[in-house]
Structure 1
């Protein structure tokens, strides 16, 4: 069985190890969702990852409702991403852009007061982060059938822009209760048209978005994130295993470069599972590299590879606090602890000031 430190081919990308950096929302872009020079320093520090999956990046104004999160729909955003990507490449790294539509989790404050869109007219629980603090979510409106071609073009444009900015590929965010996940799961999807009801219909938008992106940038530069866990941000499914197996089969038929999944256990730190793991059944029908993510440490990550459950592991908060994570795992060295109060704050604190192992030893 492979080691975490063995190389792996991910579509068009040759990854030098199997310790990937998971997408991590950090809120260091501008209020206009333009990347900043500080982001170049942050990602370059983590270029030792086999592959960096960027923080979720909005495909459109309609789809982005997180304060200070980056977008990739405008020329200004593309220009600002270029030095970020170049810094990673100059440091020897590989980086793909995770493209994101938040669906009903976009607060109307980001939309000039308009309703967000979703699979159906539903309301997310809890509250949204806005520039004025947390506010209750608003009821979404159901995306109309005749709007779907426009949505697909938003994804195509974001994917084209990502390649224009120099990214090695893109990852479609189809997890965690955001738009595509809201179409997948019957807890939110109450449609009676071709995008609702049966599993085949609920998988349709995922298939169409993925095909559109693959046709735009190449299937060998296209990945997808799914989250076959239980309830997350108000989104759940009554019978998740056949749903997510069907989704994995559809993605395998398209021939995407990789599938990355968040599947936390019963004590997961962001979403929990109320059923046995679905990833093994998905791996039987998805024939590309499978990357697992959620609460792994070095030993459990290697065990997942040894057991044949995954081809690589994506580390989240561990990478947030340990820019040289592969070095630390190879040395079985202590890990820095992340500081939750700086996860989404602006500025360098808790962002680019976590020490490397070498710096800690020299101190």
Structure 2
């Protein structure tokens, strides 16, 4: 190296980090990604164990959305965490990840709420209010129109809170370091937050403080069941996915973040985190603990560098960890590829969801020895 040449600055993405009692080898988080590869009974099998073990180099893996009860199932072949067989299946996954050298692994707990169908779960979906899901849904019999859910009674709410706590205990039994409570992307907890899906007039509806009550009750119960140091929470301020219209985002999230901070979960995970938007800066100011930032990436950004530059900027703007999704799909050794500048594989979108088998799932190749050494494809 000549006097005028300088070694590139080391990226903070590859620095070790601490999350509660976990020592993470890097700051890259594999975001939860629904892939529909569980059995029809929601039991993770060997294929899922292989998939996650291939990606064990992530600093933290947040395993895909898993239902805490039967009625919460949103799509066919998504995993659950409410039966002994499902817990045993997930235990095979966590053991495979540890055997591959991974460590930190959380399980996302997701109840679909109105994002569900009787052909899938065998039950009429539950939701804050009887407001039909406005889109079509994949079911075992094909695409179906959304149905009008049953508005949850106070007893339904108490039962669902207890089911989340039970699922969290099952996740720890299965070998997970903790769980992520999914309060984002238009699913049940997010439905309680949004005005267009929560039309209740009782203590769980109306004002922002009332609408945050159910998510806070769930997080409190889960933290009491397994300890707050094992609990994370995912939020998506202002996101309109799955027909959600929050209506007063600027009021909901300051109240929610403050209430969650009082419960001291180990992290908050923000979807579509953008340092150019005021919401991100406010959440970083209000949240006293670890913040995981999940940026929204264009296809061009994913192809160019997998989100590395966006991730580095988020770290410089106060995030503690960065969650990326698509890069991990097509690159089982995504961390190594980002570290060395090696080419990134491309996702085959036709195999992302609502399909089964290894194709487009566990058959993406890892780098060869030459590529790992040089950061270039071999001839």
1:179 matched to 2:180? The reply is: no
SS at match of 1:79: helix
For residues 313 and 46 of structure 1, the distance between their equivalents in structure 2, rounded to whole angstroms, comes to 16
The alpha-carbon deviation at position 264 of structure 1 amounts to 6.3
1:68 matched to 2:77? The reply is: yes
**Could you list the per-position Cα deviations for residues 242-290 of structure 1 after superposition, in whole angstroms to 9, with x for gaps in the alignment?**
211211111111000001111267xxxxxxxxx9451221111111111
1:151 matched to 2:160? The reply is: yes
Q: Is the 8 A contact 2:72 2:121 kept in 1?
A: no
Q: Is the 8 A contact 1:64 1:106 kept in 2?
A: yes
1:293 matched to 2:274? The reply is: no
For residues 90 and 324 of structure 1, the distance between their equivalents in structure 2, rounded to whole angstroms, comes to 16
Q: Is the 8 A contact 1:44 1:87 kept in 2?
A: yes
For residues 347 and 111 of structure 1, the distance between their equivalents in structure 2, rounded to whole angstroms, comes to 22
1:227 matched to 2:236? The reply is: yes
For residues 111 and 98 of structure 1, the distance between their equivalents in structure 2, rounded to whole angstroms, comes to 19
Q: 2:45 aligns with which of 22, 36, 48?
A: 36
The alpha-carbon deviation at position 145 of structure 1 amounts to 1.1
The alpha-carbon deviation at position 325 of structure 1 amounts to 1.2
Q: 1:109 aligns with which of 119, 130, 139?
A: 119
Q: Which residue of 2 aligns with 1:206?
A: 215
Q: Which residue of 2 aligns with 1:82?
A: 91
Q: Provide structure 2 residue ranges, at least 5 long, that are not aligned to the other structure.
A: 1-9, 298-306, 372-376
1:131 matched to 2:140? The reply is: yes
The alpha-carbon deviation at position 146 of structure 1 amounts to 2.1
For residues 66 and 277 of structure 1, the distance between their equivalents in structure 2, rounded to whole angstroms, comes to 34
For residues 295 and 358 of structure 2, the distance between their equivalents in structure 1, rounded to whole angstroms, comes to 25
1:299-338 to structure 2, matched below 5 A, reads 299-308=309-318, 310-338=319-347
Q: Is the 8 A contact 1:156 1:212 kept in 2?
A: yes
Q: Is the 8 A contact 2:34 2:64 kept in 1?
A: yes
**Could you list the per-position Cα deviations for residues 106-144 of structure 1 after superposition, in whole angstroms to 9, with x for gaps in the alignment?**
1121243x4211111101111011111110000112111
The alpha-carbon deviation at position 55 of structure 1 amounts to 0.7
For residues 58 and 31 of structure 1, the distance between their equivalents in structure 2, rounded to whole angstroms, comes to 13
**Could you list the per-position Cα deviations for residues 20-39 of structure 1 after superposition, in whole angstroms to 9, with x for gaps in the alignment?**
00000001111111111011
For residues 32 and 82 of structure 1, the distance between their equivalents in structure 2, rounded to whole angstroms, comes to 16
For residues 238 and 340 of structure 2, the distance between their equivalents in structure 1, rounded to whole angstroms, comes to 32
SS at match of 2:137: strand
Q: Is the 8 A contact 2:119 2:141 kept in 1?
A: no
Q: Which residue of 2 aligns with 1:91?
A: 100
**TM-score (structure 1 length as normaliser):** 0.93
For residues 88 and 67 of structure 1, the distance between their equivalents in structure 2, rounded to whole angstroms, comes to 25
SS at match of 1:55: strand
Q: Provide structure 1 residue ranges, at least 5 long, that are not aligned to the other structure.
A: 266-274
Q: Which residue of 2 aligns with 1:25?
A: 34
Q: Is the 8 A contact 1:120 1:188 kept in 2?
A: yes
Q: Which residue of 2 aligns with 1:353?
A: 363
Q: Which residue of 1 aligns with 2:301?
A: none
Q: 2:227 aligns with which of 204, 218, 225?
A: 218
For residues 92 and 241 of structure 1, the distance between their equivalents in structure 2, rounded to whole angstroms, comes to 42
Q: Is the 8 A contact 1:249 1:285 kept in 2?
A: yes
Q: 1:238 aligns with which of 247, 253, 261?
A: 247
The alpha-carbon deviation at position 177 of structure 1 amounts to 0.4
Q: Is the 8 A contact 1:294 1:316 kept in 2?
A: no
For residues 87 and 378 of structure 2, the distance between their equivalents in structure 1, rounded to whole angstroms, comes to 38
For residues 313 and 99 of structure 1, the distance between their equivalents in structure 2, rounded to whole angstroms, comes to 20
Length, aligned pairs only: 352
